[in-house]
Amino acid sequence: MDEEERTRLTEFVTSRTPALMRVAYLLTGDRHAAEDLLQSALARTITKWPTLRNADPEGYVRTVMYREQVSWWRRLRRYREIRLTEADEGIDPDRSGGTDVRLAMRAALRRLPPAQRAVVVLRYYEDLTETQVAEMLGCSVGTVRSRTHRAIARLRRMLPDVTGLEVLR
């Protein structure tokens, strides 16, 4: 890799890491796992960097993150961990205009199964179509629809007092 490519790569990583980290966090629900996921995706991107010269490197990194996360879920199915207790995070009302709702939503997203969480993140945070989500996760459109339906139903049960969930259809 020549100096110009190295500079371009450094600029990309520096400028896009915060946004990519937010997506990784939404996918994993854990800051440390999100850091690992992003680091893994960036490591794969670096090996392909010369071929990404005129392509969309951020799209490539996001695709790698989604696929890495799906692979992790598939491995997780074989080796299930059992939580002994579910930490109930009490959220005090916040007068700063929606922070309590964001915290409640973040906690609820963490309690969703990983596949449902990914579908919600891709559909509503990334604003992708069902077809794009299906391609990204390597499943059918029907699977995306059913996971979305189940995830939203579960979020509504977990957050009955939160207004704005009617937007999630």
- Say if residue 126 is in the same domain as residue 62: no
What is the rounded distance in angstroms from the CA atom of residue 95 to the CA atom of residue 93? 7
Phi, psi (deg, nearest 5) at residue 87: -70, 120
Task: Write the CATH number for 161.
Answer: 1.10.10.10
**65-113 pLDDT per residue, tens:** 998 888 876 666 555 555 555 545 555 554 566 677 778 888 888 899 9
- Say if residue 116 is in the same domain as residue 145: yes
What is the rounded distance in angstroms from the CA atom of residue 28 to the CA atom of residue 69? 8
Half-sphere exposure at residue 49, Cβ-oriented, CA atoms within 13 angstroms: 19
Q: Under a CB-based contact definition with an 8 Å cutoff, are residues 144 and 137 in contact? A: yes
Instruction: Give how many domains the chain has, as a whole number.
Output: 2
Host domain of residue 37: 1-79
What is the rounded distance in angstroms from the CA atom of residue 26 to the CA atom of residue 159? 18
Domain boundary (79, 104, 127) is at 79
What is the rounded distance in angstroms from the CA atom of residue 16 to the CA atom of residue 57? 10
- Say if residue 63 is in the same domain as residue 107: no
**22-61 pLDDT per residue, tens:** 999 988 888 998 999 999 999 998 888 888 766 788 888 9
Supply the mean pLDDT for the chain.
81
